Amino acid sequence: MKIERIELQQLHIPLRFRFETSFGCTVVKELILVSVYGEGEVGYAESVAMPDPYYNEETTETVWHMMERFLIPKLFASPIETPEDVDRLFAPVRRNHMAKAALEGAIWDLYSKQKGVSLAKALGGSKSVIDVGISIGIEPTVDQVLAKVERHLAEGYKKIKVKIKPGFDVELISAIRKQFGDDVPLMADANSAYTMEHIDVMKELDQYGLMMIEQPLAHDDIIDHAKLQRELSTPICLDESIHSVEDARKAIELGSCGIINIKVGRVGGLTESKRIHDFCQAHDIPVWCGGMIESGVGRAHNIAITSLPNFTIPGDTAASSRYWEEDIVEGGVELIAPGQLAVPDGPGIGYALNARAIGNYVLRSTNFRP
């Protein structure tokens, strides 16, 4: 693959609403749009890192620095034949997974376009339609969450995920079950807000028939999660603890979880996402694709990876119009039926960029050449 130019653009996109988790509140999405040019095609991806190091250690600034100082020079210095070569090329650089994933994802898109196939097909995906769920942040009151649950159930979303934190958990889940019944596919996401001292809270949540409790304990833990899982009938889903197929292997062997959330940025790219998917499939551990409030570019990448067969649980890739007044892809990423998204069959990610919207949101832009 011949790479002729790489462009980085930092964008600030206002959300239509505040989105709160146990570690912070987002009202503006900050991202880095990566464009990789080669042989008449352009591949696109985005960095999902946040401005602050609260979800993980990376930030928008560190991602820009790592790409500019280390990763882009490596791409220009070594020939690559396939996107898998990028994963091997970046391997000597420790962690910095979101920086790696942004560049590798753009090269996957470029590779797919050069081959004239969809990104989903290039990854080995087979689905033409995927089921999707919705993620609801922490609100000032339980009633405000209930109102959102009611609206999103009416829209047909196939899974309801609610964010929880100590003091905003059992009462919330109990109220959702009381109002909407036990058949609603419901899960709770703690974003590492609890410790083993909260085991009584976890056991209370265990009685509500949840699909899973996501990452209740520390962001880097698999030991205490194994202890907790033995005390619960509800599957634990690991998110922040899984950065590689090796992390997945260890967690599964220890019994730390029954489900794994694969976020492309968190694990370092589509190649590693595929490896985790394949390993989990071989060990009967279902996976699903988590969201990081992506623009349409990142959502297109999520859709593509979710087309693989072991993504059996609806992910977080909700419609663009829920988040943005105007997405950076033409037409946005929208439902084709209640709770369903189409897997594009055109070359690459299957979406054209909205240049006018990007121009409205861009803060800085830099080009790199060999």
In this prediction, residues 149-172 reach a mean pLDDT of 96
Q: What gap in Å lies between CA 165 and CA 22, rounded to an integer?
A: 6
Share of the chain above pLDDT 90, in %: 96
User: What does the block give as tokens for 28?
Assistant: 């503006």
Question: Is 227 noted as a catalytic residue in this protein?
Answer: no
Return the pLDDT at 21. 84
User: What does the block give as tokens for 344?
Assistant: 């594009």
Return the pLDDT at 216. 98
Q: What gap in Å lies between CA 97 and CA 49, rounded to an integer?
A: 10
- Supply the Cα-derived Rg of the chain in whole angstroms: 20
**Strand order across the 287-289 sheet:** 134-136, 160-163, 186-189, 213-214, 236-238, 259-262, 287-289
Return the pLDDT at 339. 95
In this prediction, residues 144-155 reach a mean pLDDT of 96
Contact status, residue 303 vs residue 341, Cβ threshold 8 Å: yes
pLDDT at 333 over 80: yes
| In 41-96, alpha helices (H) | 60-66, 72-77, 83-90
Q: Which of 2, 163, 178, 203 is catalytic?
A: 163
What residue type is assigned to position 220 of the chain? D
Question: Is 115 noted as a catalytic residue in this protein?
Answer: no
pLDDT tens-digit readout, 15-33: 988 888 877 788 899 999 9
Q: Which of 29, 159, 161, 263 is catalytic?
A: 263
pLDDT tens-digit readout, 249-306: 999 999 999 999 999 999 999 999 999 999 999 999 999 999 999 999 999 999 999 9
